[in-house]
A = this chain, B = another copy of it.
Amino acid sequence: MTGNIVKNYDPTLYDRPSVSVDVVIFSLVAEDLQVLLVKRKYPPYTGMWAIPGGFVHMDEALEDAAARELAEETGVTDVYMEQLYTFGTPNRDPRTRVITVAYFALVPYDEVHPRPGDDATETAWFSVFDLPALAFDHKEILEYALTRLRYKLEYTAVGFQLLPDEFTLSELQRAYEIILREPLDKRNFRRKILTADILEETGNLRKLGEGRPAKLYRYRANAVAEVKTRRLFP
């Protein structure tokens, strides 16, 4: 049992897996919910589409690694990002044991300037409803991210992270309709979101050709972003 004492004292004597981060990047593009994918430059799965990601540096926090990957692929910083789940099935990477901590990010489309990182030949947006074949277990990761995003949108105001700073109520309603895939009633939508007290008028108007100009709103930075859920028990 002396071996156990040593092992418990010195974890570096255990075999260690590799640890990576992958970032599922969502945006609203052309009236559609899309994700940014990269085409792999190196084996395995060379030429296949994948979620952008990379290995965690030894002195780097996980969220810093995720933010670094996001910036490398899109140039954006300071966007909404949260840890999604950690995937570690033993043979998910054919090379060696790789445990990946997945994140998802919500970026306003107008802020993104995709550029392939060192390990990709190409980056492109894909509709979440029409995805190509994906490397590793990335299909599973993406499906989980989508489930979580939909779920989260239902009870938090996180959807604003997908819109530009200023937006009209019609644009906001369209964003929700795209993500939820159902039409919403205009009057009820406006009443509910305005009484929720999470928006403020910017004072500006948007004129786009025909029609009456729309008031522009912004998300109140200090707004309470969560809604009470209907509890199972009284």
Contact = CB atoms under 8 A, between A and B. Distances in A.
A130 interface: no
Interface in A68-88: 83, 85-86, 88
Main secondary structure of the interface of A (DSSP, over half): loop
Going nearest first, the 9 A-B pairs with the smallest beta carbon separation are: A62-B88, A16-B16, A188-B234, A8-B42, A11-B18, A229-B229, A230-B230, A86-B86, A15-B58
A155 B157 CA distance: 18
Interface string A201-234: 0000000000000000000000000011111111
Given A12-B96, A88-B101, A99-B101, 6 more contacts: A8-B118, A11-B18, A56-B88, A62-B86, A156-B232, A193-B232
Interface of A: 1, 4-5, 8-12, 14-20, 41-43, 55-56, 58-62, 83, 85-86, 88-90, 93, 95-99, 101, 118-119, 154-157, 176, 180, 184-185, 188-189, 192-193, 196, 227-234
